[in-house]
Every structure is written in structure tokens, then in C-alpha cells.
Amino acid sequence: MFKTFIFLIIVLNFQSCSLFMSKKERLLQTDILAKLSSQSANLAKCTKNSNLFKIFDKKRIRVVIFLSINSRGQIKRFNLDDKLYPVEYAECVFKVVDLVNFPKLDNGEVIELKQPFIFSYNN
């Protein structure tokens, strides 16, 4: 019995956190990620127009966007990962993300989001 209990605890630890999320939370997460992902073409334009492939001398670039979204569906905090991006790139990404209509949340609620994007150089 004890071994079964330990096994169950281990299995639950390796499960996705969505197992513990309510249906409302999962739908909200899906909606936010879909809206953000729908802007990937515009984010790719920022990447190309800012010459990031040349600046970093890479054909693939991984960019991570960190957001806090307030209860009104507005961006409360915006950051990119710790690479040294040109200011014009960060501003372009912010402008694209700021145009997204994020869903409104319960009063006082804030969503913290970390979303990676991978951009590839195509001739």
C-alpha cells in the first residue's frame, strides 16, 4: 500500500500543472496563448527588420517574452529574456504584444506569462 501511495505521488509530480487547474483557468490560459501566438508573424517581422539574425550571427533565435496581465486585460509588466536586444527590437515586440486584446480577469487578478518564440532565418 505504501509503495502504491509513493508511486502515485511521483506520478502526480510529473503530471502537467493543468491537472490541477480548473476548466476556467485552462480556457483562459489557452485563450491568452492563442492570442499571443497569433502575432508570431508580426513578431517575426520585428526580428527580421531589427537584423537580429545578423546581430547574433545565428539562423535560429529563441526569444522569451515575459508578461504580467492585469484584471483589465492590459499589460502590467513586459520583459524579454536576458539577451542584449537592440532597443528598436524590444519596442517593436512591445508594440505588437500591446495590440493583443487579452481577456479581462476577475477583479484584482494578475496573470504571469512566459512565452518562448523561435524565429528562423529564411533567404
How high does pLDDT run on average in the chain?
Answer: 84
**CA 33 – CA 40 distance, rounded (Å):** 11
Chosen CATH of 39-123 out of 3.10.100, 1.10.287, 1.10.3470, 3.30.2420: 3.30.2420
Domain boundaries, the chain: 39-123
pTM over 0.85: no
Task: Output the CA torsion sign for 46, 50, 53, 55.
Answer: negative
Amino acid at 50: S
Amino acid at 114: K
Torsion, CA 53, CA 59, CA 60, CA 66, rounded to 10: 0
The set of cell numbers assigned to 42 is: 508580426
pLDDT digits (tens, 9 = 90+) for 46-77: 999 999 999 999 999 999 999 999 999 999 99
